[in-house]
Chains A and B, each alone.
Chain A
């Protein structure tokens, strides 16, 4: 017989014991270890997921911040640019205004220079002419320039005709105050008498005269009475010369003012 029943029972018991032993010493610890490890890995994975989510969130926040920063920077930049532009325009305007003012001032200075120069030239010319004329007259005639001026004046008085003469006679006759004879120099008594005589002859009555000195006449003489004025002065001649000199100076100043 191949089956030994005692052995069968013994082997069955042995097997049951072995099941218990292996359960106790093999399956349980191994499965527990695997479970523990799986749990640990799960926890670590969850941790990693959480960290990843956190990192993503932080990255998003950083990106948002960056964008906001960029926007702010752009806004600041545009504002600064606009400010710089207005400042630049303002500075340019200021400079232009300053340049305009400067050039106007320069033109003004030039003009006043020209005016001064022309005046100086006029005065100088007047004086020179006066000096030259006097010298020439003194050299040519034995009489002084003043005497000659007086002669010319008397001559004029005598040569007066028509309405002018009548008007002068009328005005001097009706005058309540004495007529004034102005000259650049003190007239000697001889010449005063000549003038008095000439006037008396012209008007046909005695004329009260008052003699005054007016240096601005420059070798001239004039008679003023009751709103009437008659005279001769080198000033008149010089005036035309002065005018011409002034014209010349203006012509010279004009192109300079045109191109500042």
Chain B
């Protein structure tokens, strides 16, 4: 029994290999990009627009609104990173409804890669916003004694991000596989539906956590109480 689509290898040449994770990721990338291109090829600037354009506008503005609610003041700046995180994870999870598809997010390698991206992006956004010195100073707050704990928390939350998504997606696929062997009818369908819900919730959680980390890194200078009040704005 496979625990991860990484184990399904189509081609290998020394260090390089082409496994199911990468192939499915490419497929998703292609679908997302081509879908976007098709819809945005002839966008309407008027008051009437196609339903697909409407759908994409709702998705994009919805994500931007969520980012803003977390406390990031310029959601358009973070929309590329956070929106892509959400769209990729969500589409990867939603596609489990297709038979024979293994979600790339069910591979710890993918979730680790996404978590690493967040791990790298957070300090980058923080430094961009506050400058290197100011950003590094936030690790020594409230006192210098907290420095190791801050570093540990940085690492552990990245690990938690990766493992949380992987665990949820992997377990969903696992449960489905196990249930199929025990009760082949009805019940797996219910679990599959539950899996879709779980996938959406995981995508949302992953994105929101990333947004929260970025928000925490970018507003180190502001007092904590004030930062909360900007959420509604």
A residues near B, CB below 8 A? 2-12, 14-19, 21-23, 25-27, 29-34, 36-37, 40-41
Contact = CB atoms under 8 A, between A and B. Distances in A.
Contacts of A3: 108-109, 112
Interface residues on B, range: 35 or more
Nearest to A27: B79
B40 A26 contact: yes
Chain B at the A interface: mostly helix, strand, loop or mixed?
Answer: helix
Contacts of A21: 29, 32-33, 36
Contacts of A19: 80-81, 84
Contacts of A40: 45-46
B195 interface: no
The 4 closest A-B pairs by CB, nearest first: A11-B113, A7-B109, A29-B40, A26-B36
B153 interface: no
B220 to A, nearest CB: 25
A5 B112 CA distance: 9
Contacts of A29: 40, 43
Interface stretch (B12-20, B122-130, B141-149, B197-205): B12-20
A41 B15 CA distance: 56
Chain A at the B interface: mostly helix, strand, loop or mixed?
Answer: helix
27 contacts: A2-B109, A4-B6, A4-B109, A7-B107, A8-B116, A10-B113, A14-B26, A15-B84, A15-B88, A16-B117, A18-B29, A18-B32, A18-B84, A21-B33, A21-B36, A22-B80, A22-B84, A22-B87, A25-B33, A25-B37, A25-B40, A26-B56, A30-B40, A30-B43, A30-B56, A30-B60, A33-B57
Interface in B30-61: 32-33, 36-37, 40, 43-47, 53, 56-57, 60-61
Contacts of A8: 109-110, 112-113, 116
B3 interface: yes
A5 B15 CA distance: 10
Chain B CB within 10 Å — which of A8, A16, A31 has the most? A8
B4 interface: yes
B25 interface: yes
Chain A CB within 10 Å — which of B32, B108, B112, B113 has the most? B113
A9 B113 contact: yes
Nearest to B17: A6
Contact of B15 (A6, A17, A30): A6
A27 B60 contact: yes
A33 B43 contact: yes
